[in-house]
Structure 1
Amino acid sequence: MKIDIEETKPINGVKWKIVTLTNNQGMSVTFLNFGGIITKILVPDKNGKLENVVLAYKNEEQYLTNPGYLGAIIGRVAGRIQGASFKIDDKTFKVDDNEGIHCLHGGTSGLNNALWEIEPYQSFNELCVKLSHRSKDGEGGFPGNLDIEVIYKLNTRNQLTIDYIASTDKKTPITLTNHSYFNLSGNAKRTIHDHEIAVDSKEFIELDEELIPTGKLLDVSGTTFDFRNSRLLQKGFNNDFYQNRLAGSGYDHYFVFEHKQEEQIWLKDKESGRTLSVKTNQPGFVMYTSNNLEEGLELTEGITEKYLGVCLETQGTPVSLHHHNFPSIVQNENDVYKKQTIFTFGIG
């Protein structure tokens, strides 16, 4: 069990830190203090071969633009805020409109562009690194000074835990997530067409033509969105169902968890034998199958292409800012935002 910390060459005059957590089974997680970006997760396949199961750019400089948000911490608000505005206590706040007239993933000053302070520590069977950052009042148009901690933990059971903790001095919306693109084939040698996934959800939120959630819940029954029993992702990589068509022949939708199962998401690549299960206290997640991922960017293995990874963005939904039939993401001054997601890697 060890924690290694190195530095990049200067990028825009700043050296970023590269942190690697390695457990006794050989699994390792590597991330940058810039954006908290996860660049590598090495886990064994059914033959014991260690390979990377997340997409990462070949050159760190590419993270300065990072159009696909590869591996990054996302916030203050993960997802799309309709019209880049919202109301709190009858006061309207205008935030960055970085995707047309809408705000995507916290805008241009989102947490994916922050340089985080890091503090490594270790318990008996767990390696931990706390990342800390203050998002200042008015940054990106959001109210309140927001003090954020994100803790990456790796234990001896090949579990990566991400804890999110935040407090504010003014009411403000917050929902944080991680935007890693998983590909269990290892080293991105195949697309995710043959990945099987099961999801503890019977409803998802409808999207409109601009990928903005309408606030309408749709039943998954009889659709390509029914993952209550395991099915291949490729079943939705077409235009047969209008919601798949709107998302670019795939998925970019928020699923509401029933929380009937101990783990809310289960993913498997049959050929490699790798599995990934996800347990969270978040109310749902966005599944994005890289339908609109910019193509032709150089990765550590290969180049970006459609359907090369799947994002499992556990989070609250910004649709609650305009449709109040969903759990609110607005945090009060005296409350503490506290969320957790556990990624368990295995063989099955």
Structure 2
Amino acid sequence: MNKHLYPVIMSVLILVTLIISGCCSKNPTITLSGLDYSDFDTVINGKNVSLYTLSNGDMEVCITNYGGRIVSFMVPDRDGALRDVVLGHDNIRDYINIDGNFGAIIGRYGNRINHGRFKIDSIEYQLPQNNYGHCLHGGQKGFHHSVWNASQISDSSLVLKLHSPDGEAGFPGNLDVVVTYTLTSNNSLEIDYKATTDKPTIVNLTNHSYFNLSGDPMCSILDEIVTLQASSYIPIDSTFIPIGNLVEISGTPFDFRTGRTIADTLGDETEEQLRNGHGIDHNFVLDNDGSAIATVHDSYSGIVMSIITDQPGIQFYTGNFLDGTIRGKKGFYYAKRSALCLETQHFPDSPNHKEWPSTLLNPNEQYHTKTVYSFSAK
């Protein structure tokens, strides 16, 4: 499908739906992205689940408190037409029944921990081993499957709270987490993460949105231009676990400092790291000076996404395991390379690498980090 025709067709379909809905009810039930609020109303483990909408007049972000997931993200392209730039589902049933991390808050520990084991003060803890014998994203029942307590404090801000009890998924300490989504007037989505504990534990929170800035999930992200302010990355073995020291990216296919398409990197079939990751699925070590540390530009829509974070790393993933079997919004099936992820975080397996930035959180301390996704068009 032509990338220019897709938003036009979707806009017509959404407009027709809104007109029909408006004739039947005085209260709007359909979002700008075409989501029906009633398709997200349910009860899971005795807790209410709903769909929440943030708006600043130019953009719309829809979030469900099941997993704290960003369900849709409507961004204006160069012509002012709104395009949904994230993958996901258009009903809560699919989020429950289809295993995936679309748009979710990830915790307690985003990314992988080797064999699910780590030590704090000589005490060894064992976590679920749900990915190649390792713990990935906190295990099978991480925060992406939790029902968060939601409070919408304004049209543009949503506060999500979660209590993770001591011993949940093997993690020590009672952990209380607060994540605030704020859509600002300058077309940025701020994600503010806070957490406290009553016992030494490890924390590494992130958001797992799948972006396709063309707004058309039938188009691949191979031609999107990515810039990463990172001078090194973390090599992995075939089970995605770090294998040693950080590696400088100069002279490698992983050098995105001046901007390159994803196709340019994935075309290097001689690179062992690309074979190990089935593409790019690596943590980049950020040269963080407070400015944008990553940008993605889609030349067809003109949409540019810039990311600012205080985290030391970012996991860059090129949709390697999307295989066309997952049915998403509007009935589209998500193919390989139909989206990319840029997850701001600490490094994978950091608890087992004392030389890397620590993910340890102690009582009387606060975990606090912020990531900002900003959008423009050119």
Per the alignment, residue 20 of structure 1 pairs with: 53
The alpha-carbon deviation at position 68 of structure 1 amounts to 3.2
Percent of aligned pairs with the same residue? 38
Check the 8 A contact 2:218/2:335 in 1, yes or no.
no
In 2, Cα distance between equivalents of 1:68 and 1:235 = 28
Give the paired residue count: 341
Q: Is the 8 A contact 1:318 1:329 kept in 2?
A: no
Q: Which secondary structure does the structure 2 equivalent of 1:213 belong to?
A: coil
The answer to whether residue 275 in structure 2 is matched with residue 245 in structure 1 is yes
Matched, 1:120 2:152: yes
Question: Structure 1 residue 127: deviation in Å?
Answer: 1.7
- Where in structure 2 are the equivalents of 1:297-308 lying within 5 Å? 297-301=326-330, 302-308=332-338
Q: State the 1:214 CA deviation.
A: 1.8
Compute the displacement of 1:109 (Å).
Answer: 2.3
Contact 1:196 1:269 (8 Å CA) reproduced: yes
> 1:340 maps to what in 2?
370
TM-superposed CA distance for 1:61, in Å, is 1.3
Alpha-carbon offset, residue 110 of structure 1: 0.5
Higher mean C-alpha displacement, 61-70 vs 265-274: 61-70
After alignment, is 62-71 or 277-286 more displaced? Answer: 62-71
- Deviation of 1:240 after TM superposition, in Å, equals 2.5
Q: Tell me, what secondary structure is at the counterpart of 1:97? A: coil
Taking the TM superposition and a 5 Å limit, the aligned residue runs for 1:81-120 are 81-120=113-152
Distance 1:9 1:121, change over 3 A: closer
Alignment match, 2:25:
none
In structure 2, distance between residues paired with 1:318 and 1:259: 18
Moved more, 77-86 or 295-304: 295-304
CA distances 1:31-85 after superposition (whole Å, capped 9, x unpaired): 1000001110001111111010000124321212443311100000000110111
Aligned-partner residue type, residue 40 of structure 1: S
Instruction: Give the alignment of 1:210-229 within 5 angstroms.
Output: 210-229=239-258
Corresponding position of 1:71: 103
1:311 counterpart letter in structure 2: C
**1:292: how far off?**
1.4
Aligned to 1:279: 308
Of the three residues 47, 66, 76, the one matched with 2:79 is 47
State yes or no: 1:140 paired with 2:169: yes
Whole-Å separation in 1 of the counterparts to 2:338 and 2:239: 23
Per-residue deviation, 1:155: 1.1
Q: Which residue of 1 aligns with 2:3?
A: none
Amino acid at match of 2:377: I
Helix, strand or coil for the counterpart of 2:349? helix
Long gaps (5+) in structure 2: 1-30
How large is the Cα RMSD of the aligned pairs? 1.8
3-state SS in 2 of match to 1:182: coil
Deviations 1:172-213 (A, max 9, x none): 010000000000001324110110010110100010111111
Which of 354, 370, 374 is the equivalent residue of 1:324? 354
Higher strand fraction: Structure 1 or Structure 2? 1
Partner of 1:180: 209
Could you say what secondary structure the match of 2:244 adopts?
A: strand
Question: Which deviates further from its counterpart, 110-119 or 295-304?
Answer: 295-304
Separation in 2, partners of 1:143, 1:273: 46
Q: Does 1:32 align with 2:61?
A: no
Contact 2:127 2:139 in 1 (8 A): yes
Q: Distance in 2 between the 1:68 and 1:198 partners? A: 26
Matched, 1:267 2:300: no
Q: 1:24 to 1:116 in 2, by over 3 A?
A: same
Measure the CA separation in 1 of the matches of 2:91 and 2:192: 28
**Where is the helix percentage greater, Structure 1 or Structure 2?**
2
Higher mean alpha-carbon deviation, 257-266 vs 142-151, is at 257-266
2:235 aligns to what SS in structure 1? strand
SS of structure 2 residue aligned to 1:216: coil
Give TM-score, length-normalised by structure 2.
Answer: 0.87
Given that 2:241 and 2:348 are in contact with CA atoms closer than 8 Å, whether structure 1 keeps it comes out as: no
1:312 aligns with 2:345: no
Instruction: Report the Cα distance in structure 2 between the residues aligned to 1:12 and 1:312, rounded to whole angstroms.
Output: 29
| Distance apart, 1:247 and its partner CA | 0.8
| Conserved? CA contact 1:58–1:298, under 8 Å | no
